[in-house]
A = this chain, B = another copy of it.
Amino acid sequence: MSKLLIVGTLAFDAIETPFGKTDKILGGAATYIGLSAANFGIQSGIVSVVGGDFPEEYLKMLNAKQVDTQGVEIVKDGKTFFWSGRYHNDMNSRDTLVTELNVLEQFNPKVPQDFKDAGIVLLGNLHPLVQNAVLEQLEVTPKLVVLDTMNFWMDIALPELKEVIQKVDVITINDEEARQLSGEYSLRVAARKIQAMGPKYVVIKKGEHGALLFGEDQIFFAPALPLEEVFDPTGAGDTFAGGFAGYLTKTKDISFENMKNAIVYGSNMASFCVEKFGTERMQNLTKEEIFDRLEQFKSLTQYEMSLSK
């Protein structure tokens, strides 16, 4: 069975949207990635860190979905990373209210032996030095390394970020971050500049406006599914990345053609994530729901047209 190694945060989130607010609930990039990738029948494992306050049931929930948590360090006398944010009415922008790094401040990732030969590695949003430290522990060169990052690291650790970007095959960032990283407004020009920094493929996430995949001379686009309501966008980008990497891990085919499918699978997973608060929808998702919605995605963009008309 193919293996996916996931690096990212396990966290507590407190979220406010126009639909309501939550207490501290389960969150974090690795959580969303793991829950998304869990739908592909692959072997996945998380490298992360939590405090003694992190409920064991959360790890058990992940394990029950075949997500390995051997690589999750538990700092007994430490506190788990905490993030709190409030979404604006349009759901496209948010204010961060609280960020408590806690155990993340001194995190030295340790890749379990079982995952040192992972075929695909997804470096979720974390300090670039942590992402880099994971790459250095691998014993077999992965088929594909995917890196997700955000503007925060561009602001405070750009040289370190650029160093890890050099080493990856795919980078996934949002449109504003692509513009910040490249200094270019046109996403097409931005993608080319970012490719020159290392990654052969650039995925630009545009939230409700879909996602673009740039290859060598090819571009692919998949929209987000137009939903009746977006309830909570938290974790949508990580869920997208988890679906993307999960599908590639399962199919073991990293051609551009198959990456198109991975983009569609990622978008499909993200469309569920936003329907409820936090991870609730992702914890209770059936194969039937996933396949039904893939059909919706297909009819949303596929057409039959003879160009000779």
Give Cα A110–Cα B89 distance, bound, in whole angstroms. Answer: 46
Q: Is the CB of B305 within 8 A of A264?
A: yes
**A187 located at the interface, meaning its Cβ lies under 8 Å from any Cβ of chain B in the complex:** yes
Chain B minimum-CB-distance residue to A260: B303
User: A301: which B residues are within 8 A, CB to CB?
Assistant: 220-222, 301-302
Q: Flag the segment in A137-145, A151-159, A205-213 that touches B.
A: A205-213
Copies of this chain assembled into the complex: 2
Give Cα A226–Cα B309 distance, bound, in whole angstroms. Answer: 25
Give Cα A291–Cα B226 distance, bound, in whole angstroms. Answer: 29
**A185 located at the interface, meaning its Cβ lies under 8 Å from any Cβ of chain B in the complex:** yes
List which A179-215 residues lie within 8 A (CB) of chain B. Answer: 185-189, 206, 209-210, 212
**A304 located at the interface, meaning its Cβ lies under 8 Å from any Cβ of chain B in the complex:** yes
User: A186: which B residues are within 8 A, CB to CB?
Assistant: 226-230
In the complex, what's the smallest C-beta–C-beta distance from A31 to chain B, in angstroms?
26
Residues of A within 8 A of B (CB): 89-90, 185-189, 206, 209-210, 212, 218-223, 226-230, 250-251, 257, 260-261, 264, 291, 294-295, 298-305, 307, 309
